[in-house]
Chain A
Amino acid sequence: MGEPATPNTRRAARDSLFEASAFEHSTDVGGTAFGWRRQALIAAAVLGCLVVFALARWLAATPQVGGEWMAGADGALVVRELPKSRDSRESPGSQQPARPGASQPLTVVGIGLQGEAPLAVDALLLHRWPRWQVDDTLRDRQLHQHEALAQLLARSAGSVQLHTADGTLREAAVAARGYAGLGWVFWPLNGLALLLYLFAVVLMVSKPQPRNALFVVMALCQAGNLVFIALASANGLGSPMGAMTSDLPVRATLDLCTAAAAVHTFALRPEGARGSPRFPGVALLAWAALPAWWLAVAVGTGLPLWWLAQGACLLLGAAALAVAHSSQRQHPDAHGLVLRRMATAALASLALVTLAVALGANAGGSTARAVAAAASTAWYLFLTYLLLLTPFLARRRQLLREFALLAGVSTIVTSLDLLFVAVFSLSAFTSLAVAVFIGLGLYAAARQWVLQHLIGSSVLSTERTFDHLYRAARELQARPQRYPQLLTQLMRELFDPLEVQAVDRVPVRARLLGGGSALVVPMRQSDDAGGVAATHSRALVLRHAQRGQRLFTVEDARLADRVVEQLRRAVAYDAAVERGRFEERQRIAQDLHDDIGARLLTLMYQAQTREMEDYIRHTLQDLKTLTRGLAATEHRLSHAAGEWKADLTQRLQVARARLDWRLHVDHDRRLTVVQWSALTRVLRELVSNALYHGHATHVEVDLRLDGPLLRLQVADDGDGRAPAAWAHGLGLGGVRKRVKLLGGEVAWAENQPRGIVCTVRVPDFPAPR
């Protein structure tokens, strides 16, 4: 028992888990359980909103110097349209109040209170992203300026003095930022953060599992990042105290946490190996990266902190991908594949962003700032969208596709917008318009690609689906007992799964398992499919659609349901048609038999000659064979052979002849009505010939069936000779016709020492369908 689980037992455990989760899903959301879940959810939502509003209030209460601040040449701080302070009447800036917008840009080199040494400032004050400041010394200066300014503004009583480059002093009003000054991206970003947070809460509350806890960690970290970005987006000069100094350590921690959780998540895959990471060491190491980073910061490695953080994130991302790749190779799984693709996209974009920011930093100045802001914001948004997407991978495909596209496009639009504003100094409106325009173009272009590659589209066109369904229905009509095989085959054709397995449980409808890795399809058996009921209802579990390249979606489940239903209807309809046909045939047979049979009988009794009587008897027997063939659906060869033998024995007995009956059949099989009636009549005709034309006393019948080859030989010792010279009357013509109908050939030859031997060969005696 203590030995490590073999792949098989692990697979078995996985299967049982699979089934358990497949069929006992609805039981865990009971009435009482729902109560606390809803309460927890509401409480979490209220808490999240409160936090956001507290943040907004904090930021709104922060004092700031209004105006349009921007970077000037050589990294200087430039302000345009300085708002008028309360005593601006004396200030020189008030000389041109009648010409708004025409105020000259001021280069500000220092900010101070009256009678105090000014704080030297430059464009670094505009850089609110210490986390994305590449150069450590620049960051130190930046943090110093931010903190000093924050303290200064806190102490100011309504105004500060701006020391301009040309030596003049300007009064600038200091006021609380107010809710209007939070900036236009503050609320959307916070809203997104809130959404992500609520997602995490919903997931955790509905299914408290280790895997979901990891998702929650990632989601919360990203929500935190978004909040930081939102804080940095506020208008005006002046940040809340402490916001800037905490930016780097907190956000780097959040990033590393996200990366470590990602590694851990992939280490837990595939599903079913719950609780025991398949790569426990890797997960542990990933989490160890966090304290390691802190240690490096504390001790000081000589490396720039930004590079350290980025390096750690990229490394962890690469580790996550490696783990995902290896587990994917062992257990191909569509869900895992999509997740891996997402991780690849996130990592690749992170690498690009890192590269861009590093290059931008080399360029220095406003470019560095713009690139850092735009690129990192875009990346965080992208990651957020990916996270939001994950729980919906197997949900409605249409929704998912549109969501994915919107996410991607809005990320691009945002980043372009930021870039245009920063680099090309376009006005906000123009840049937004251009960005949206480009975004729409991208949306149209990317739509098809996303459809096929990220989520995977249905490979089958409607036409081919219909074709498959039609063929299956037709074949089912012919062989209703093959229903399970046909349904399995059809499902294979429709979804091309890696694995198909029959289980003994019966779900009411088709449903998804494991986030779309598997689909359970009920095999509903039609009740009127007669005789088929033996294969009782079961279900098929399809795993990993399209050879593990695609996830099953809710649409797939509905499609499977409809297919099963259509097949059931087809079978029921065909059974009804067949029943009707059978009844009709029986009625015809009955009428023929009763009416024509009785008349032929009367005719036979009144026959003048023996030949006439025999001829009518023969006709009557043919009629009986015909009607029996009409009424019966099929005959077993063994049964038919028994009847042939008994019939021939009796007839030969009457004619005082001897029968030698040899039968060799490799296996019993069913005869179609056509085969049965053809063989019956051929045999009867041949023996009649031997008796009445050849006057034989000994007839040998040898019937063999070896695989598809049927051979019937009737030999007699009569006085018939030279068969080539025979005139083929009604009798022999009938034999030829019937053998031809079976797809065989008949030959007559002289028997030694006397008589005739007739050989019927059917090389491909078809088995009934």
Chain B
Amino acid sequence: MTVKVLILEDNPVARSFLCRVVRESFSDAITITEAGDLETARRHISLTGGSQGLHGVDPFKLMMVDLELPDGSGMELLAELSHYPATKIVTTLYSDDDHLFPALQCGADGYLLKEDRFEVLVEELQKIVRGQPPLSPAIARRLLTHFRPGGADSPAPDSGFMVTPFTTSKPVPIEKVLDHERLTPRESEVLTYLSKGFTIKEIASLMAIKWFTVNDHIKSIYKKLNVSSRAEAAVLASKQGLV
């Protein structure tokens, strides 16, 4: 059985390049569906069982979504597909956290920077699929702010040179935050190191743990980000009377 992959990218040259990357990355037989805009992508997805992916006989296993599309932002699709059982990867030229962070909140499992070299992209893609999503210092910093008790509106941590002890006895927010929406001290520590540019291996040795444990923390953070943002969305929706 072949692995179905959806590539949503408006630039045909880039699309074919990404196809090459995907084919290079996996040894399995692969069927690639290409889409140039959101509408085409939605049509393809509905053919395979709709955005929930529940009734689909043969859903996409991997989706590469560009953010800048002629008829909207890939972010919209990601938000619609938050329950779709596929590995969703954002491919973008924007490497800054302002663009990437919302995408991750929408449930992306990782991101690829389109200007990277072919072999880098292949490696990164493999890692994401294996469950080792990338986390740049900027995003790590943004995550720290996001999960900091007191809300995501407070400014970024002021100094990366100060290793602040992450204790749970920080100012308790008035609203009870559920445990699965809060970072563990270990996860916070990992994020702090990442924000300073340490590699996963370096972090592992600094924290005296295995590198895949660090990776587990990162995966967990990704999940919490998605969960917490979905909870936020739900709260927002109920406030606006949408639900």
The interface residues of chain B lying within 8 Å CB-to-CB of A636 are: 158-160
Any A CB within 8 A of the CB of B94: yes
The interface residues of chain B lying within 8 Å CB-to-CB of A605 are: 13-14, 16-17
**Closest CB-CB distance, A679 to chain B, in whole Å?**
14
Per-residue A-contact encoding for B120-159, CB less than 8 Å = 1, 0 else: 1000000000000000111001000000000000001011
Q: State which of B76-84, B194-202, B205-213, B230-238 sits at the interface with chain A.
A: B194-202
The interface residues of chain A lying within 8 Å CB-to-CB of B11 are: 598, 601-602
Per-residue B-contact encoding for A641-678, CB less than 8 Å = 1, 0 else: 11111100110001000000100010110000000000
Any A CB within 8 A of the CB of B115: yes
**Closest CB-CB distance, A747 to chain B, in whole Å?**
26
Complex CA distance for A668 and B161, rounded to whole angstroms = 7
Per-residue B-contact encoding for A558-601, CB less than 8 Å = 1, 0 else: 00000000000000000000000000000000000110011001
- List B146-203 residues whose CB lies under 8 Å from chain A: 156, 158-162, 194-199
Q: Are A642 and B14 in contact (CB under 8 A)?
A: no
Q: Are B95 and A624 in contact (CB under 8 A)?
A: yes
Per-residue B-contact encoding for A628-647, CB less than 8 Å = 1, 0 else: 10010000101101111110
The interface residues of chain A lying within 8 Å CB-to-CB of B68 are: 594, 598
Chain A residues bordering chain B, tally (CB within 8 A): 32
Given known A593-B94, A654-B119, contact A601–B114 (CB-CB < 8 A):
yes
**Closest CB-CB distance, A342 to chain B, in whole Å?**
58
Given known A620-B115, A668-B159, contact A593–B13 (CB-CB < 8 A):
no
Of all chain A residues, the one with the shortest Cβ separation from B115 is A620
The interface residues of chain A lying within 8 Å CB-to-CB of B120 are: 650, 654
Per-residue A-contact encoding for B91-109, CB less than 8 Å = 1, 0 else: 0011110000000000000
Complex CA distance for A601 and B96, rounded to whole angstroms = 17
Any A CB within 8 A of the CB of B117: yes
The interface residues of chain A lying within 8 Å CB-to-CB of B196 are: 638, 641-642, 645
Q: Are A638 and B160 in contact (CB under 8 A)?
A: yes
Complex CA distance for A628 and B11, rounded to whole angstroms = 23
The interface residues of chain B lying within 8 Å CB-to-CB of A643 are: 136-138, 197
Q: Are B137 and A639 in contact (CB under 8 A)?
A: yes
**Closest CB-CB distance, B111 to chain A, in whole Å?**
13
**Closest CB-CB distance, B205 to chain A, in whole Å?**
14
- List B53-104 residues whose CB lies under 8 Å from chain A: 68, 93-96
- List B1-55 residues whose CB lies under 8 Å from chain A: 11, 13-14, 16-17
Complex CA distance for A668 and B194, rounded to whole angstroms = 18
Q: Are A649 and B160 in contact (CB under 8 A)?
A: no
In the complex, which of the residues B96, B114, B141, B197 contacts A645, with contact meaning CB atoms closer than 8 Å?
B197
Complex CA distance for A621 and B93, rounded to whole angstroms = 10
Q: Are A621 and B197 in contact (CB under 8 A)?
A: no
Per-residue B-contact encoding for A604-636, CB less than 8 Å = 1, 0 else: 111000000100010011001000100100001
Q: Are B160 and A641 in contact (CB under 8 A)?
A: yes
The interface residues of chain A lying within 8 Å CB-to-CB of B94 are: 593
The interface residues of chain A lying within 8 Å CB-to-CB of B194 are: 646
Q: Are B93 and A597 in contact (CB under 8 A)?
A: yes
The interface residues of chain A lying within 8 Å CB-to-CB of B117 are: 613, 617, 654
Complex CA distance for A671 and B94, rounded to whole angstroms = 22
Given known A638-B196, A639-B195, contact A604–B115 (CB-CB < 8 A):
yes
Given known A639-B195, A646-B197, A649-B197, contact A602–B14 (CB-CB < 8 A):
yes
Of all chain B residues, the one with the shortest Cβ separation from A641 is B197
The interface residues of chain A lying within 8 Å CB-to-CB of B93 are: 593, 597-598, 601, 620, 624
Complex CA distance for A428 and B75, rounded to whole angstroms = 102
Q: Which of B93, B95, B120, B197 has the most CB atoms of chain A within a 10 A radius of its CB? A: B197
Of all chain A residues, the one with the shortest Cβ separation from B199 is A649
The interface residues of chain A lying within 8 Å CB-to-CB of B158 are: 636, 668
Q: Are A621 and B161 in contact (CB under 8 A)?
A: no
**Closest CB-CB distance, B145 to chain A, in whole Å?**
12
Of all chain B residues, the one with the shortest Cβ separation from A668 is B159
**Closest CB-CB distance, B34 to chain A, in whole Å?**
15
Complex CA distance for A577 and B195, rounded to whole angstroms = 33
Complex CA distance for A667 and B159, rounded to whole angstroms = 9
**Closest CB-CB distance, B72 to chain A, in whole Å?**
14
Complex CA distance for A628 and B13, rounded to whole angstroms = 25
Complex CA distance for A594 and B69, rounded to whole angstroms = 11
The interface residues of chain A lying within 8 Å CB-to-CB of B95 are: 624
Q: Are A638 and B159 in contact (CB under 8 A)?
A: yes
The interface residues of chain A lying within 8 Å CB-to-CB of B197 are: 641-646, 649, 661
**Closest CB-CB distance, B237 to chain A, in whole Å?**
30
Q: Which of A604, A642, A643 has the most CB atoms of chain B within a 10 A radius of its CB? A: A642
The interface residues of chain B lying within 8 Å CB-to-CB of A606 are: 13
Apart from A605-B13, A620-B115, 14 more pairs, CB < 8 Å? A601-B115, A602-B13, A605-B16, A606-B13, A617-B117, A631-B96, A636-B158, A636-B159, A642-B160, A642-B197, A645-B196, A646-B194, A649-B199, A668-B159
Which residues of A approach B to under 8 Å, CB–CB? 593-594, 597-598, 601-602, 604-606, 613, 617, 620-621, 624, 628, 631, 636, 638-639, 641-646, 649-650, 654, 661, 665, 667-668
Which residues of B approach A to under 8 Å, CB–CB? 11, 13-14, 16-17, 68, 93-96, 114-115, 117, 119-120, 136-138, 141, 156, 158-162, 194-199
